[in-house]
Amino acid sequence: MAKITFMGAGSTVFARNVIGDCMCTETLRDWEFALYDIDPVRLQESAAILSKMAQTLGVGAKITTYLGVENRKDALRGANFVVNAIQVGLYDPCTIIDFEVPKKYGLRQTIGDTLGIGGIMRALRTIPVMEGFARDMEEVCPDAWFLNYTNPMAMLSGYMQRYTGVKTVGLCHSVQVCSETILKEMGLEDKLPGRRELIAGINHMGWLLKLEDKDGNDLYPLLRAKADELIAQPDFKDKVRVDYIRRFGYYCTESSEHNAEYNMFYIKSRYPEQIDSFNIPLDEYPRRCINQIAGWKEEYESLSKTQSLTHTRSKEYASHIMESIVTNTPYEIGGNVLNTGHLITNLPEDACVEVPCLVNGQGIHPCHVGRLPVQCAAMNMTNINVQLLTIEAAVTRKKEHIYQAAMLDPHTGSELDIDTIVKMVDDLIAAHGDWLPKYN
């Protein structure tokens, strides 16, 4: 029996979506689904929900569970695909630390999982765990594809691609809905059917480089004409990305609450009025975590009482990639891959970039894109600098690279002086304690 291993199966809602998608796929529905986590309660909850779903859908899926590091190799042994959705340190204590310590220094964040000081710290505590995954995979499932959904996407995927022998692609949800979102926001739903697009850049800042209607007409003149009108609406939530259209010429893949903290422009203590005018939700991710934890308790109680649990296949790439490789049926994704051979010619080869990729029976094949508009590449580079230095810190265990990553982070560097950045990093390292390895 073929096997899919899900790392971080305690991410119950996400595990349900990805594995539910597989159960809705004829090629995959009767496989073994190996669930791995270090939390016994969440692991049991996921197993119960997925077993009920398999029963409802009438599939032959085999659900197995593996608890703790001592059982990790067995969870991975013989896997064809490994899906990664871990969160090292969880909301409590690590996300709380990521937000509250910087706040003492006047540094505010919205999401803190991809870039900024929060993204840096999240990468530093996650990479050592993924290094262990890689070692085990190289031993017990060396041919498996590693499908990474965990943030910070470019740092974690880039580490796996550069420093391990594991076949890795990073997957996000934002590419699939990018053009649909902006067309709906601008009241251009009639342009959705048959549209053609090209998206490339880096994760969470992939640029919608081309958008055409079904007849090949360029839709960007319409988007640019409507940008001022949307930003003028007081309650409109996607203002940062629409402002990107005005300032840089292009819309990008991830939400405005994310992109508000990826640059030096919008969250500024000297210009507090921008927080309100751009509808920037500071401390958004901690609020989501609190609501999600409370909401899951209620949802699990409800699901436990129901006799059946069905599922409809989602837009997540994972099941489509697996199906494509297994059946040798071509499929296109937006994947996070190493920029080997300069897929994007004006970004460095060490960068993890997000580009169109063809999937078939031979695996995942990134497509050459060429040059980004110079201003888009420049924006990407402000993020890539931080990503590469954070990976360097994780590999060398040199604290100086953590300082440098934080100094070069566009939001952190625009708000704090160098000595304060160093003090904040030291405080964060101390507060994380055993969640971080020792740095020299």
**E strand or H helix at 258, and its extent?**
helix 256-259
Sign for the pseudo-dihedral over CA of 217, 223, 224, 226: positive
Output the CA–CA distances (angstroms, integers) from residue 276 to 186, 235, 256, 257, 401, in the order listed. Answer: 22, 10, 13, 12, 34
- Biggest CA-to-CA distance, the chain: 61
Output the CA–CA distances (angstroms, integers) from residue 59 to 48, 99, 186, 347, in the order listed. Answer: 15, 43, 42, 45
- For helices 153-163 and 116-140, the axis angle rounded to 10 degrees is 40
User: DSSP alpha helices (H): ranges in 59-173?
Assistant: 72-76, 96-104, 116-140, 153-163
Active site residues: 173
What is d(CA 191, CA 218) in angstroms, rounded to the nearest whole number?
11
* 437 prior amide bond cis, ω within 30: no
Q: Tokens 């401390």 map to which residue?
A: 283
Beta-strand runs (E) in 183-267: 196-202, 205-212
Q: Tokens 């995927």 map to which residue?
A: 157
What is d(CA 138, CA 165) in angstroms, rounded to the nearest whole number?
7
What is d(CA 85, CA 4) in angstroms, rounded to the nearest whole number?
13
What is d(CA 32, CA 2) in angstroms, rounded to the nearest whole number?
6
First to last CA, the chain: 46
Count of CA atoms in the C-beta half-sphere (13 A) of 179:
22
